[in-house]
Chains A and B, each alone.
Chain A
């Protein structure tokens, strides 16, 4: 492969990376907006509690409020690290 071919490699186009990142962050921010005001604080506190026991990333706690009929369902997702070492 010549030196010029390197620059022509079809790496993923930067616009499509931008689009993917935007779709994720915008979806997350919309969910945060539509949820109750205490959600971000609750998320932080849950993170602290979990970290007493296991070291997790900043985005390990994901919360979502869904409406099902008359009920609001709080969905909580905690990603634990996979400790293979």
Chain B
């Protein structure tokens, strides 16, 4: 049985797809057979971030509708063993994601994968609800900014009430916070919500903090999940998050302002 992990946020553009690619790749790098599914039907993007856009033949909706089987639709990653991508459809709308259809695909994947990572679309409509419904775990991607934090709290409300687990009388899944695009400098100057601020408001376990980083843009330009950029701050921060996700303890990195020398201060004015 696979663990189903949803990467969600409510607000758009906060880093869900970046995170889905990074976490799925990180899990596969550690030897866990992992599938990452793009639930953003109509706005396929995970394929680009994973760098497999030219290899897409069939998609998630094709499998749901029985036009293709899973074997035909799953794209095997060329760099990392144990990693497979199921792309979203570009031509269909979100109504194509029927609950039965999604369940069938997840059940079939569950038979031979250890982790299924679901890249949720923004919003709280069908696509996002379907991505969350079957989840065993949730990673709530949040930027240190008012609308993102508020939307994350709404998503936590949905996770607490609208999942299969809850409907079957089980314990609600506990979302874990991944704070992304964080700038220690700006937080220290009081211009950006700090890790503690966001933690206090959302009151959930902190899975990690990913700094605002040029490496993320470089990674998406190249079609390489940022965890593969081992030198980069964001890549390492995602590696730490994967380790914590798997139960290891890792201190937070890249969350303090580097102390400037004399020249740094001089030029900053």
Contact = CB atoms under 8 A, between A and B. Distances in A.
Interface stretch (B43-51, B112-120, B187-195): B187-195
A19 B153 contact: no
Contacts of B192: 15
Q: In the complex, which range does the number of interface residues on chain A fall in? A: 10 to 19
Interface string A21-38: 111011001100100000
Given A15-B191, A26-B153, 10 more contacts: A13-B190, A15-B190, A16-B190, A19-B201, A22-B201, A25-B150, A26-B149, A29-B157, A30-B153, A33-B157
A14 interface: yes
A13 B153 contact: no
Contacts of B194: 15
20 contacts: A13-B189, A13-B191, A14-B190, A15-B191, A15-B194, A16-B190, A18-B145, A18-B193, A18-B197, A19-B193, A19-B197, A19-B201, A22-B150, A22-B201, A25-B150, A29-B150, A30-B153, A30-B157, A33-B157, A33-B161
B183 to A, nearest CB: 11
Contact of A23 (B161, B187, B201): B201
Interface string B143-159: 00110011001100100
Interface of A: 13-16, 18-19, 21-23, 25-26, 29-30, 33
Interface string B190-220: 1111100100110000000000000000000
B153 A29 contact: yes
A26 B150 contact: yes
Contact of A15 (B154, B161, B197): B197
Main secondary structure of the interface of B (DSSP, over half): helix
Nearest to A16: B190
Contacts of A19: 193, 197, 200-201
Contacts of B190: 13-16
A21 B191 contact: no
Contacts of A16: 190
Contacts of A15: 187, 190-194, 197
Contacts of A33: 157, 161
A30 B192 CA distance: 24
A30 B160 CA distance: 11
Q: Which of A13, A16, A18 has the most CB of B within 10 A?
A: A18
A9 to B, nearest CB: 13
Interface in B42-96: none
Contacts of A21: 146
Contacts of A25: 150
